[in-house]
Amino acid sequence: MKNRPAAQARPRPRQDPPIIAVCYDFDGTLSPRNMQEYDYIPKLRLSSRKFWREAQERAREQGADEIHSYMRLMLEKATPASGVQITKKAFIDYGRTIPLFPGVKSWFPRMNAFGSRLGASVRHFIISSGIREMILGTPIAGEFERIYASSFMFDQNGVAYWPALALNFTTKTQFLFRINKGVLDPWDDSRINDFIPMAERPVPFSRMIYIGDGTTDIPCMKLVKEQRGYSIAVFPPGPGKKAVAERLRGENRVNFTAPADYRAGRPLDLQVKATLRKIMAEYALLGGEKK
Protein backbone atom coordinates (compact mmCIF):
# COMPACT_ATOMS: atom_id res chain seq x y z
CA MET A 1 0.00 0.00 0.00
CA LYS A 2 1.45 3.35 -1.03
CA ASN A 3 2.20 5.90 1.61
CA ARG A 4 -0.29 8.72 1.73
CA PRO A 5 1.14 12.17 1.16
CA ALA A 6 1.75 14.12 4.35
CA ALA A 7 -1.15 16.35 5.29
CA GLN A 8 -0.47 19.98 4.46
CA ALA A 9 -0.88 22.64 7.10
CA ARG A 10 -4.13 24.53 6.71
CA PRO A 11 -3.44 28.06 5.51
CA ARG A 12 -4.06 30.79 8.04
CA PRO A 13 -7.34 32.52 7.21
CA ARG A 14 -7.03 35.95 5.67
CA GLN A 15 -8.52 38.98 7.33
CA ASP A 16 -10.71 40.43 4.61
CA PRO A 17 -9.85 43.18 4.04
CA PRO A 18 -6.75 43.68 6.21
CA ILE A 19 -6.87 46.77 8.42
CA ILE A 20 -4.14 49.40 8.20
CA ALA A 21 -4.24 51.92 11.08
CA VAL A 22 -2.98 55.44 10.45
CA CYS A 23 -2.53 57.22 13.80
CA TYR A 24 -2.10 60.97 14.17
CA ASP A 25 -1.10 63.45 16.79
CA PHE A 26 -3.21 66.60 16.41
CA ASP A 27 -1.49 69.82 17.54
CA GLY A 28 1.37 70.57 15.16
CA THR A 29 0.49 67.55 13.05
CA LEU A 30 -2.95 68.23 11.58
CA SER A 31 -3.19 71.82 12.85
CA PRO A 32 -0.40 74.41 13.13
CA ARG A 33 -0.56 75.23 16.86
CA ASN A 34 -2.00 74.07 20.18
CA MET A 35 -5.78 73.97 19.81
CA GLN A 36 -6.39 76.07 22.94
CA GLU A 37 -4.60 79.02 21.34
CA TYR A 38 -7.20 79.75 18.66
CA ASP A 39 -10.28 80.61 20.68
CA TYR A 40 -10.21 79.49 24.32
CA ILE A 41 -7.06 81.34 25.50
CA PRO A 42 -7.83 84.56 23.55
CA LYS A 43 -11.21 84.66 25.28
CA LEU A 44 -9.33 84.77 28.61
CA ARG A 45 -7.44 87.84 27.36
CA LEU A 46 -4.17 86.05 28.08
CA SER A 47 -1.21 85.41 25.85
CA SER A 48 -0.59 81.78 24.98
CA ARG A 49 2.93 82.13 26.36
CA LYS A 50 1.61 83.23 29.76
CA PHE A 51 -1.00 80.45 29.95
CA TRP A 52 1.47 77.64 29.16
CA ARG A 53 4.13 79.10 31.45
CA GLU A 54 1.66 79.13 34.35
CA ALA A 55 0.66 75.53 33.62
CA GLN A 56 4.32 74.44 33.57
CA GLU A 57 5.17 76.33 36.77
CA ARG A 58 2.24 74.77 38.59
CA ALA A 59 3.24 71.30 37.42
CA ARG A 60 6.74 71.83 38.85
CA GLU A 61 5.45 73.27 42.13
CA GLN A 62 2.92 70.49 42.67
CA GLY A 63 4.96 67.63 41.23
CA ALA A 64 2.15 67.16 38.73
CA ASP A 65 1.87 65.96 35.18
CA GLU A 66 1.79 68.93 32.80
CA ILE A 67 -1.34 67.66 31.05
CA HIS A 68 -3.30 67.53 34.32
CA SER A 69 -1.88 70.94 35.19
CA TYR A 70 -3.05 72.66 32.01
CA MET A 71 -6.46 70.98 32.17
CA ARG A 72 -6.98 72.13 35.74
CA LEU A 73 -5.87 75.63 34.75
CA MET A 74 -8.42 75.68 31.94
CA LEU A 75 -11.17 75.05 34.48
CA GLU A 76 -9.85 77.59 37.00
CA LYS A 77 -9.47 80.40 34.49
CA ALA A 78 -13.08 80.07 33.33
CA THR A 79 -14.53 82.13 36.19
CA PRO A 80 -17.94 83.81 35.97
CA ALA A 81 -16.10 87.13 35.64
CA SER A 82 -14.16 85.89 32.62
CA GLY A 83 -17.32 84.98 30.75
CA VAL A 84 -15.53 81.95 29.32
CA GLN A 85 -17.70 78.85 29.06
CA ILE A 86 -16.45 75.33 29.86
CA THR A 87 -19.48 73.33 28.82
CA LYS A 88 -19.18 70.43 26.41
CA LYS A 89 -20.93 72.54 23.77
CA ALA A 90 -18.51 75.42 24.34
CA PHE A 91 -15.47 73.17 23.88
CA ILE A 92 -16.94 71.81 20.65
CA ASP A 93 -17.55 75.39 19.50
CA TYR A 94 -13.92 76.30 20.32
CA GLY A 95 -12.91 73.44 18.06
CA ARG A 96 -14.78 74.93 15.12
CA THR A 97 -12.18 77.73 14.93
CA ILE A 98 -9.15 75.41 14.66
CA PRO A 99 -7.40 75.74 11.27
CA LEU A 100 -5.98 72.68 9.56
CA PHE A 101 -2.89 72.22 7.43
CA PRO A 102 -3.34 72.30 3.64
CA GLY A 103 -5.03 69.21 2.25
CA VAL A 104 -6.14 67.74 5.57
CA LYS A 105 -9.86 67.80 4.75
CA SER A 106 -9.40 65.82 1.53
CA TRP A 107 -6.69 63.54 2.94
CA PHE A 108 -8.89 60.93 4.61
CA PRO A 109 -11.21 60.01 1.72
CA ARG A 110 -8.18 60.04 -0.57
CA MET A 111 -6.24 57.57 1.59
CA ASN A 112 -9.34 55.43 2.13
CA ALA A 113 -9.89 55.16 -1.62
CA PHE A 114 -6.22 54.41 -2.28
CA GLY A 115 -6.16 51.71 0.39
CA SER A 116 -9.37 50.21 -0.96
CA ARG A 117 -7.80 49.89 -4.41
CA LEU A 118 -4.96 47.95 -2.77
CA GLY A 119 -7.43 45.66 -0.99
CA ALA A 120 -6.98 47.26 2.46
CA SER A 121 -9.29 48.96 4.93
CA VAL A 122 -7.53 52.16 6.05
CA ARG A 123 -8.70 53.36 9.46
CA HIS A 124 -7.70 56.62 11.10
CA PHE A 125 -7.10 57.30 14.80
CA ILE A 126 -6.23 60.44 16.78
CA ILE A 127 -3.86 60.05 19.74
CA SER A 128 -3.45 63.53 21.23
CA SER A 129 -2.70 65.37 24.45
CA GLY A 130 -5.16 68.04 23.34
CA ILE A 131 -8.83 68.24 24.25
CA ARG A 132 -11.11 65.62 22.73
CA GLU A 133 -14.19 67.82 22.83
CA MET A 134 -12.39 70.49 20.80
CA ILE A 135 -11.35 67.94 18.18
CA LEU A 136 -15.01 66.91 17.94
CA GLY A 137 -15.75 70.45 16.74
CA THR A 138 -13.41 70.23 13.76
CA PRO A 139 -14.73 69.33 10.30
CA ILE A 140 -12.64 66.13 10.24
CA ALA A 141 -13.94 64.61 13.49
CA GLY A 142 -16.11 62.12 11.64
CA GLU A 143 -13.13 60.68 9.75
CA PHE A 144 -11.71 58.86 12.78
CA GLU A 145 -12.39 55.37 14.06
CA ARG A 146 -11.53 56.68 17.54
CA ILE A 147 -10.40 60.03 18.93
CA TYR A 148 -8.08 59.32 21.86
CA ALA A 149 -7.36 62.62 23.57
CA SER A 150 -7.48 64.33 26.94
CA SER A 151 -11.06 64.97 27.99
CA PHE A 152 -13.21 66.24 30.83
CA MET A 153 -15.99 64.85 32.98
CA PHE A 154 -19.17 66.94 32.75
CA ASP A 155 -21.89 67.46 35.35
CA GLN A 156 -25.64 67.26 34.79
CA ASN A 157 -25.56 70.74 33.26
CA GLY A 158 -22.83 69.81 30.81
CA VAL A 159 -20.17 71.83 32.67
CA ALA A 160 -16.65 70.41 32.90
CA TYR A 161 -15.49 69.78 36.45
CA TRP A 162 -12.67 67.19 36.37
CA PRO A 163 -10.31 65.54 33.88
CA ALA A 164 -11.71 62.24 32.61
CA LEU A 165 -8.63 61.29 30.62
CA ALA A 166 -5.20 62.90 30.35
CA LEU A 167 -2.78 61.75 27.66
CA ASN A 168 0.88 62.64 28.03
CA PHE A 169 3.70 61.60 25.73
CA THR A 170 4.17 58.20 27.38
CA THR A 171 0.55 57.29 28.13
CA LYS A 172 -0.23 57.86 24.45
CA THR A 173 1.49 54.54 23.71
CA GLN A 174 -1.28 52.68 25.59
CA PHE A 175 -3.65 53.48 22.76
CA LEU A 176 -1.38 51.93 20.15
CA PHE A 177 -1.69 48.67 22.08
CA ARG A 178 -5.46 49.11 22.25
CA ILE A 179 -5.59 49.46 18.47
CA ASN A 180 -3.21 46.52 18.08
CA LYS A 181 -5.37 44.26 20.27
CA GLY A 182 -8.76 45.61 19.23
CA VAL A 183 -9.59 46.78 22.77
CA LEU A 184 -10.67 50.24 21.68
CA ASP A 185 -12.66 51.66 24.61
CA PRO A 186 -10.49 53.68 27.05
CA TRP A 187 -12.48 52.42 30.04
CA ASP A 188 -12.00 48.74 29.12
CA ASP A 189 -9.09 47.59 31.30
CA SER A 190 -10.34 44.04 31.62
CA ARG A 191 -8.78 42.83 28.36
CA ILE A 192 -5.93 45.19 27.55
CA ASN A 193 -3.38 43.12 29.50
CA ASP A 194 -4.74 39.75 28.36
CA PHE A 195 -2.41 37.63 26.28
CA ILE A 196 -3.54 37.70 22.66
CA PRO A 197 -1.43 35.72 20.17
CA MET A 198 0.09 37.94 17.50
CA ALA A 199 -1.80 36.11 14.76
CA GLU A 200 -5.12 36.98 16.41
CA ARG A 201 -4.52 40.71 16.85
CA PRO A 202 -6.63 42.74 14.41
CA VAL A 203 -3.97 45.37 13.66
CA PRO A 204 -0.35 44.20 13.97
CA PHE A 205 2.18 47.00 14.45
CA SER A 206 3.57 46.18 11.01
CA ARG A 207 0.31 47.56 9.62
CA MET A 208 0.46 50.84 11.54
CA ILE A 209 1.60 54.27 10.40
CA TYR A 210 2.17 56.96 13.04
CA ILE A 211 2.31 60.63 12.01
CA GLY A 212 3.49 63.21 14.55
CA ASP A 213 5.49 66.39 14.78
CA GLY A 214 7.82 66.49 17.75
CA THR A 215 9.22 65.36 21.05
CA THR A 216 5.84 64.50 22.60
CA ASP A 217 5.40 61.89 19.86
CA ILE A 218 8.76 60.18 20.31
CA PRO A 219 7.54 57.21 22.43
CA CYS A 220 4.78 56.42 19.91
CA MET A 221 7.05 56.94 16.92
CA LYS A 222 9.76 54.75 18.38
CA LEU A 223 7.37 51.98 19.46
CA VAL A 224 5.71 51.72 16.05
CA LYS A 225 9.04 51.77 14.20
CA GLU A 226 10.65 49.18 16.47
CA GLN A 227 7.66 46.88 15.96
CA ARG A 228 8.12 47.00 12.16
CA GLY A 229 5.55 49.71 11.56
CA TYR A 230 6.22 53.12 10.05
CA SER A 231 6.63 56.53 11.69
CA ILE A 232 6.65 59.90 9.94
CA ALA A 233 7.69 63.25 11.44
CA VAL A 234 5.96 66.20 9.82
CA PHE A 235 7.06 69.81 10.14
CA PRO A 236 5.36 73.16 9.48
CA PRO A 237 6.90 76.05 7.55
CA GLY A 238 9.38 78.11 9.54
CA PRO A 239 13.04 78.34 10.45
CA GLY A 240 14.42 75.33 12.30
CA LYS A 241 11.24 73.26 11.96
CA LYS A 242 12.66 70.84 9.40
CA ALA A 243 15.79 70.37 11.51
CA VAL A 244 13.70 69.04 14.42
CA ALA A 245 12.14 66.39 12.19
CA GLU A 246 15.46 65.49 10.56
CA ARG A 247 17.02 65.04 13.99
CA LEU A 248 14.35 62.46 14.81
CA ARG A 249 15.23 60.58 11.65
CA GLY A 250 18.94 60.84 12.44
CA GLU A 251 18.24 59.34 15.87
CA ASN A 252 16.41 56.43 14.19
CA ARG A 253 13.08 57.36 15.75
CA VAL A 254 11.17 57.79 12.48
CA ASN A 255 11.30 56.32 9.00
CA PHE A 256 10.53 59.49 7.05
CA THR A 257 10.09 63.24 7.36
CA ALA A 258 7.86 65.52 5.30
CA PRO A 259 6.32 69.00 5.35
CA ALA A 260 2.90 69.11 7.02
CA ASP A 261 1.18 69.47 3.66
CA TYR A 262 -1.50 66.84 3.06
CA ARG A 263 -2.38 67.78 -0.52
CA ALA A 264 -2.33 65.18 -3.29
CA GLY A 265 1.05 64.75 -4.93
CA ARG A 266 3.01 66.36 -2.09
CA PRO A 267 5.81 64.43 -0.32
CA LEU A 268 3.63 63.26 2.59
CA ASP A 269 0.92 62.02 0.25
CA LEU A 270 3.50 60.10 -1.80
CA GLN A 271 5.26 58.67 1.29
CA VAL A 272 2.07 57.33 2.85
CA LYS A 273 0.81 55.87 -0.42
CA ALA A 274 4.17 54.15 -0.96
CA THR A 275 4.01 52.81 2.60
CA LEU A 276 0.49 51.47 2.04
CA ARG A 277 1.71 49.69 -1.09
CA LYS A 278 4.66 48.21 0.83
CA ILE A 279 2.44 47.00 3.68
CA MET A 280 0.07 45.29 1.26
CA ALA A 281 2.92 43.74 -0.74
CA GLU A 282 4.32 42.21 2.46
CA TYR A 283 0.83 41.05 3.42
CA ALA A 284 0.48 39.28 0.07
CA LEU A 285 3.93 37.68 0.34
CA LEU A 286 3.04 36.30 3.77
CA GLY A 287 -0.19 34.82 2.46
CA GLY A 288 -2.33 37.13 4.54
CA GLU A 289 -0.60 36.31 7.83
CA LYS A 290 -0.65 38.86 10.63
CA LYS A 291 3.02 39.42 11.36
pLDDT digits (tens, 9 = 90+) for 24-35: 999 999 999 999
Name the residue with higher pLDDT: 286 or 6. 286
Average pLDDT on 261-279 reads 98
User: Over the chain, what is the mean pLDDT?
Assistant: 92
Question: What does the pLDDT look like over 136-151, one tens digit per residue?
Answer: 999 999 999 999 999 9
Beta bridge partners of 87: 159
User: What is the model's pTM?
Assistant: 0.91
Give every CB contact of residue 153 below 8 A, 6+ residues apart in sequence: 160, 161, 162, 163, 164
Lowest mean pLDDT among 14-23, 158-167, 225-234, 268-277: 14-23
Task: Provide the pLDDT for residue 15.
Answer: 54
- Domains within the chain, CATH numbers bracketed: 19-32+100-151+163-285 (3.40.50.1000)
- Give DSSP secondary structure letters for the chain: -PPPPPPPPPPPPPPSSPEEEEEE--BTTTBSS-GGGTTHHHHTT--HHHHHHHHHHHHHHHT--HHHHHHHHHHHH--TTTT---BHHHHHHHHTT----TTHHHHHHHHHHHHHHHT-EEEEEEEEEEEHHHHTTSTTGGG-SEEEEEEEEE-TTSBEEEEEE---TTTHHHHHHHHHHT---TT--TTTTS---GGG-SS-GGGEEEEE-SGGGHHHHHHHHHTT-EEEEEE-SSTTHHHHHHHHHHTTS-SEEEES--STTSHHHHHHHHHHHHHHHHHHHTTT---
- Cα gap 187→189, rounded to integer Å: 6
Task: Provide the pLDDT for residue 10.
Answer: 36
Task: Provide the pLDDT for residue 199.
Answer: 84
Q: Is the peptide bond before 80 cis (omega within 30 degrees of 0)?
A: no
